[in-house]
Amino acid sequence: MSNRILPAEWYPQDGILLTWPHADSDWAPWLSQIDKLYCQIVKTISLYEKVLLVCFDDQHQTHIAKLLKESDVALSKILFKIISSNDSWARDHGPITVIEDHQPTLLDFAFTGWGGKYRSERDNLISQRLFTQNTFNRIDIEAQPLILEGGSIDCDGQGTLLTTEDCLLNPNRNTDLTKSDYENYFRQHFGVQRVLWLSQGELVGDDTDSHIDMLARFCDSKTIAYTACDDKKDIHFEPLSFMEKELQSFRTLTNQPYKLVALPIPAPIHNDQGERLPASYANFLIINGAVLVPVYGDKNDQIAVERLAECFPDRKIIPINCRSLIEQFGSLHCISMQLPAGTLKR
């Protein structure tokens, strides 16, 4: 077995990678709102750790730096890199970091815009271009032929990986790969001992084919927070109820049931075209000393914040209103990728 580990998100971090939205993307109609939100997110993260910001071009970087200065962000905590991008979903186009003998290694997986749904040729190059721009510490980057998005997996740092069948077994990702193939791959490259597969669970509007980070997340090695629905009239009731039963059947490495923390699904939120948007409190981001929780101006916001506070008693819980972010069918965790300690060049 590999002596690598795929660290949990609560492993100490050097920083968070964000790819700032720009006019040459689907964000164009919402840029004013999104710029304000990104300023808030960057300012919050920078109080705890560095932020690695991918900017589209020189003009974009100048624009962002001006916005951050106006928001009283300490630019000494920001590392700017100019790399053209298609979109902003750093969770899926950023590198996935493994630790081996206390040394991080970056894994650069293929990114195809969630099975070819969107253009991704620029995003697929971001990790390699960050590496060639001398962004990282003296560590290796390994190009992986496998199509794999960071939002499709969650790990407890102790050998258990959580994922969904709908995403990984979808033929639009890696044609013909079986569960066994994935498990062998994860054992070799991530050092995981086992994979917990969810066969049910989906959110309307989520075009990632059911990424796990919208559905169920490790809070520690014994606790999973998950999206729940108790409204029998809601389209999510049946799939999320089935997912809940699957989670109840899972066991820890010591053969104990997990502590399951239900996060209520927000009331339906629709865009101007009448499409329901995928709002999820499970899309939280863990950083050094804090947890950033997406909220949506919903009556369930406070319930989700309180329940996650119980899961992370040693971290500050910080709500971030992500209503504008879900206009593009993702949320807070989707736009960010943690960079574990030892990753960034100092």
Other CB atoms within 10 A of residue 108 CB: 20
The span from the CA of 301 to the CA of 193, in Å, is: 35
The residue type found at 31 is L
The span from the CA of 164 to the CA of 215, in Å, is: 9
Kindly give the confidence (pLDDT) of every residue in the chain, 346 residues in length, as a single tens digit, with 9 standing for 90 and above.
468 999 999 999 999 999 999 999 999 999 999 999 999 999 999 999 999 999 999 999 999 999 999 999 999 999 999 999 999 999 999 999 999 999 999 999 999 999 999 999 999 999 999 999 999 999 999 999 999 999 999 999 999 999 999 999 999 999 999 999 999 999 999 999 999 999 999 999 999 999 999 999 999 999 999 999 999 999 999 999 999 999 999 999 999 999 999 999 999 999 999 999 999 999 999 999 999 999 999 999 999 999 999 999 999 999 999 999 999 999 999 999 999 999 998 7
pLDDT at 2: 62
Asked, for residue 345, whether it belongs to a domain, the answer is: no
In which domain, by residue range, is 329 found?
A: 4-340
Other CB atoms within 10 A of residue 232 CB: 8
Helix 31-46 to helix 58-70 angle, to the nearest 10 degrees? 70
CATH number at residue 68: 3.75.10.10
pLDDT at 1: 47
Asked, for residue 193, whether it belongs to a domain, the answer is: yes
In the chain, helix, strand, coil percent, each to 5?
Answer: 30, 30, 40
Other CB atoms within 10 A of residue 226 CB: 24
* Residue 110 near residue 148 (C-beta atoms within 8 A): yes
Asked, for residue 243, whether it belongs to a domain, the answer is: yes
* Residue 82 near residue 57 (C-beta atoms within 8 A): yes
Asked, for residue 346, whether it belongs to a domain, the answer is: no
Cβ partners under 8 Å of residue 45, min gap 6: 15, 16, 51, 287, 292
- 131 class by beta-carbon count within 10 Å (0-12 exposed, 13-18 middle, 19+ buried): middle
- Residue 276 DSSP code: B
The span from the CA of 207 to the CA of 86, in Å, is: 16
Asked, for residue 133, whether it belongs to a domain, the answer is: yes
Nearest CA to 146 among 117, 118, 119, 183? Answer: 183
The residue type found at 119 is R
The span from the CA of 200 to the CA of 246, in Å, is: 8
Question: Which two tokens mark 322?
Answer: 């992500």
- 40 class by beta-carbon count within 10 Å (0-12 exposed, 13-18 middle, 19+ buried): middle
Asked, for residue 269, whether it belongs to a domain, the answer is: yes
- 159 class by beta-carbon count within 10 Å (0-12 exposed, 13-18 middle, 19+ buried): middle
Count structural domains, the chain.
1
List the end-to-end C-alpha distance of the chain, in Å, as a whole number. 32
Asked, for residue 98, whether it belongs to a domain, the answer is: yes
> Starting from the edge strand earliest in sequence, which strands make up the sheet with 103-110, in order?
4-5, 96-100, 103-110, 141-147
- Kindly report the backbone phi and psi dihedral angles of residue 225, in degrees, each rounded to the nearest multiple of 5, phi listed first: -95, 140
The residue type found at 293 is V
By percentage, how much of the chain surpasses pLDDT 90? 98
The span from the CA of 81 to the CA of 150, in Å, is: 21
Asked, for residue 284, whether it belongs to a domain, the answer is: yes
